[in-house]
Amino acid sequence: MSIELPLENAPLTQLQQTPIDNVLNIIDQGLVHLPSYRELFYRWERQQWRAEEIDFSPDRFQWEKMGQQERQDRLYGLSAFFRGEACVTDTLAPYITAMPDEEMRIFLTTQLADEARHTVFFARFFKEVLEIDKTRLEDTLENIQQYMNKHLQYILIDSLADVAERIRQEPKNLAHLIEGITLYHVIVEGTMALAGQRGILELYRQNNLFPAFRGGFTAVARDESRHVVFGVKFLREMIQRDAANARVVKAAIDKYAQVAFTALTPADENIPDILAMQQDPWVSPRYALDSLRKKIKVIGLSMDLPVVPPPPLF
């Protein structure tokens, strides 16, 4: 008989069966009682897992039996995550140097290790299950860009690199760092990734798809919950220290939020078909909008956000 451990210490085998909403609730709880940076660090120490130990053979077996169309669908859903994990790994280092407080810097070093682990997890899955491996990791990442829409590319590839470069060049310019955390932790992790992860993990769990992947990806979501809480806490404190910083956060949300929602919305030409199947094309951007709203409230702002259509009536 297996013993259920609290999510806090759950191993990969248990995370495989855990509904993603249970993991995402950790963020909401974290936003009600913001933990200290040190507590987030200790959580990281308790929540270690190994990308190396996952046995992907059941997933590989399912992939081999899949038709061409379903293979394409899976590739489109997962490539942005693989590439995104590599982008956040590559761009976090300047943030660490620029952090104003030591406890913040210490926490961010744990996040850098997390993002590297997430990238390795996806690299293994793409190689061992989806059969995409161009030998050098850089070449594999270049190859899968074809499965990302231009909005995803703008946010994950261009914008993350642009802000990180500005922080690197001017580490004492707090406005760059605040824009960066708003983009990286609130828009990319706390809005886009959350909505994407939820959609993918729910679909896979309901269809018992890729069980080994699910365990790892749920561990990724648990890691992300610490990152998102860090970002919200940081921005809230920056605004408490100087109210003028609120303008920087708002400007960044105005700049990136609409593109983020568009990136999560199916292409215009596919919407009539989705509606004809009596499915809701806006589930993902609506969930993302709701996630963003919660974060903005805890950060201490009130502002207008882009509009996402309501659920269609069939």
User: Given the rule CB under 5 A, which residues bind Fe ion?
Assistant: 85, 115, 118, 189, 224, 227
For residues 130 and 219, which CB has a smaller minimum distance to Fe ion in the complex? 219
* Distance of alpha carbon 125 from alpha carbon 130, whole angstroms: 7
| Tokens 């699910």, located at residue | 214
**How far is 188 from 257, CA to CA, in rounded Å?**
9
- When the beta carbons of 156 and 246 are compared against Fe ion, the nearer one is 156
Q: Which is nearer to Fe ion, 92 or 253 (CB)?
A: 92
Q: How far is the CB of 185 from Fe ion (least distance, A)?
A: 8
Q: Nearest distance from residue 64's CB to Fe ion, in Å? A: 28
The residue to which tokens 């030409």 are assigned: 269
Of 85, 57, 258, give the one whose Cα is nearest residue 160: 85
Q: Distance between CA atoms of 294 and 31, rounded to whole angstroms?
A: 8
Q: Which is nearer to Fe ion, 86 or 246 (CB)?
A: 86
Cα separation of 260 and 190, whole Å?
A: 11
CB of 184 to Fe ion, least distance (A): 8
Cα–Cα dist 201/204, whole Å: 5
Q: How many CA atoms lie within 13 A of 216 on its CB side?
A: 25
Residue 23 CB, nearest distance to Fe ion (Å)? 13
Contacts of 78 (CB under 8 A, 6+ apart): 122, 125, 126, 130, 200
Cβ closer to Fe ion: 107 or 282?
107
Question: Tokens in use for 286?
Answer: 């609506």
Which of residues 164 and 246 has its CB atom nearest to Fe ion in the complex?
Answer: 164
d(CA 4, CA 19): 13
**Least distance to Fe ion from the beta carbon of 188, Å?**
8
Min dist CB 25 to Fe ion, Å, is 18
Structure tokens at 210: 């890729």
Cα(first)–Cα(last) distance of the chain, in Å?
Answer: 44
Half-sphere exposure of 90 (CA within 13 A, CB side): 18
Q: Which is nearer to Fe ion, 118 or 281 (CB)?
A: 118
Of 46 and 172, which has the nearer Cβ to Fe ion?
46
CA-to-CA distance for 225 and 18, rounded, in angstroms?
Answer: 15
Q: At its nearest, how many Å lie between Fe ion and the CB of residue 197? A: 10
d(CA 161, CA 90): 8
